[in-house]
Every structure is written in C-alpha cells, then in structure tokens.
C-alpha cells in the first residue's frame, strides 16, 4: 500500500488502487444488504377486564394472518403478555380466561 502512495502514476499502482476501491465498494454493499433484511418487532400488552382489573393466567393467542402460524402466551401475575422477534406481518390477537366472555 505504501508503494501505491509513493508513485500513484504507474499503471500497476492505478490497477491496485482500483482493486482496493472495488473491494471496499463490494464489502460495503454486501454488508449493508444483509443488515437491511433483519427487521423484527414485538407485541406487549396487559390483559384487563371491563373494570380495568388485570387478569393473570389468561391465554393470549397471536395468529399471523398471512401464514396462519399460531403463538400462545400466558399473562403474568400483573396481566402482562409479550411476543418477541416477530416478522413483519399482520396479526390477530385474542385473550381467553375461564369465567370471561
């Protein structure tokens, strides 16, 4: 690399400079394209009754409408449910608990 900087006018050095430039461009392109395709999201909420009281132990079902893939979770003692690492899609969410309609 130091030879390239000392005599940038020689034909061999110009080819080497172009090679280094192309290597940097391709490395940047492939690094950026692989990083762009990694979108993930999460859904979190609290299950409550009509009066606003939390409902622990409720079964929460998340369905991906495009693939019909179903994922379930149980609400915590504070009524919290969480679905992580979800792909971009459209989902439906239902919560069920014995004794509730």
**Contact assessment for residue 48 and residue 80, using Cβ atoms and an 8 Å cutoff:** no
Print pLDDT tens along the chain (101 aa).
Answer: 555 456 555 555 555 666 767 667 666 666 555 555 567 899 999 999 999 999 999 999 999 999 999 999 999 999 999 999 999 999 999 999 998 87
53 and 84 co-located in one domain? yes
The tally of domains found in the chain comes to 2
> Domain range spanning residue 48?
41-96
Whether 24 and 46 map to the same domain: the answer is no
Query: Looking at the domain assignment, is residue 101 inside a domain?
Result: no
Residues 6+ positions from 60 with CB-CB distance below 8 Å: 47, 72, 73, 74, 75, 81, 93, 94, 95
Residues 27 and 45 in one domain: no
Confirm whether 25 is domain-assigned.
yes
How many CA atoms lie less than 13 Å away from 76 in the CB half-sphere?
Answer: 8
Q: Where are the beta strands (DSSP E) in the chain?
A: 41-46, 59-64, 70-74, 80-86, 91-96
């Amino acid at each position: 690399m130091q030879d390239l900087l000392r005599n940038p006018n020689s034909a061999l050095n110009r080819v080497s400079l172009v090679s280094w430039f192309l290597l940097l461009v391709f490395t940047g392109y492939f690094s950026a394209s692989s990083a762009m395709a990694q979108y993930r999201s999460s859904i979190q909420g609290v299950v409550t009754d009509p009066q606003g009281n939390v409902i622990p132990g409720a079964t929460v079902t998340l369905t991906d409408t495009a693939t019909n893939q179903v994922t379930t979770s149980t609400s915590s003692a504070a009524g919290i449910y969480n679905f992580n690492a979800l792909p971009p899609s459209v989902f439906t969410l239902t919560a069920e608990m014995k004794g509730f309609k």
